[in-house]
Amino acid sequence: MAQLTLLLLTLLALHCGRVLTQPEYVNGECYADGAPTRCEPVRMSFSLFQQATTSSTCGAPPAPFCVRSVSLGRVVSDCRGGDICDASDPNNDHNVLYLTDFPLNSMWWQSENSLTSDDRVVIDILLLTLAEISFISFDFHGIKAAAFHLERSKDYGLTFEPYHYFAISCENTFGMLPDAELTTVNETTVLCQTIQEPPTPGIITFFPAIDRPSANDSQPGYSEALYQFVTATNVRVIFDKHYELQLAEEDPGYYYALDDINVIGSCQCYGHASRCIEDSMTGLYQCVCQHNTTGTYCERCQDFYNDVPWQRADGSGSFECKSWF
């Protein structure tokens, strides 16, 4: 059911388009009747088949684990099935590759067992471009974590900054209130999202622009601050805390488990390209620039087209670069 829900959510975000590994078709031309118009590449999955890395994966050496589920409003631990994580056995392997194979199989990633509830586990995903993120979803296998947070990088992993928090108790875990009031002045404030208790299996989704004031402008195009807030080259997931259980004597410990992580968005081309393609030399995506712009992200005007300063296209105009001669 969770896989079906995530598939429907993805299809909705893509406006019933396909999830692509290489976006090469047009989502609105950059000119209409000869006049320049704002344009952007189609949405795609930036995580599909990408190589995630993690600080912890079970299976080497093989280790048993107990299945977690929610029954009658409480979390239960079932150790009767003889479940084992074994990296050398394809039927019992739960490596990090399964995080980004959505929605092709039912295998999942799982961390090593831990005897403490607050051991941290980190997952990193390279997005292969500066992506404008529509949403990030986490399909948990078994119960959800009690607390985790996101960090993002805009410089291919050189630096990271906090992006979003999730917790059963935002105030107790992170010292944050889950219902912060946003205005145009503070609309890029990092927020905390409440996780339902008990943390039933299923999907948690983060929409970076939702409820941000300028995202509701009548004209398309966010404020400059929000435009920058929804972009990233890397996403880092940090699991901070397990849902605490009274571990039975036969229970080998806590672990995190995810069926999939899905990052949906479009290449950030600042409104000056309707498609982006993979660079054969670097493997990264770059925009196919229009409006006399150039650069990996169409972030500057072409030589001799600097009669007006470069500007991103938004709801107020296309801002085509113009020749000075």
34, 36, 38, 42: CA torsion to nearest 10:
50
- CB-CB contact of 58 with 98 (8 Å): no
- Reported pTM: 0.88
- Write the pLDDT tens digit of every residue in 45-103: 999 988 899 999 999 999 999 999 998 888 989 999 899 999 999 999 999 999 998 76
Q: Which domains does the chain have, with CATH numbers?
A: 45-267 (2.60.120.260)
- CB-CB contact of 213 with 239 (8 Å): no
- Give the pLDDT confidence score for residue 125 in this predicted structure: 97
- Write the pLDDT tens digit of every residue in 1-23: 444 445 444 444 443 332 333 33
- Write the pLDDT tens digit of every residue in 171-220: 999 999 988 889 888 999 999 999 999 999 999 999 999 989 888 765 55
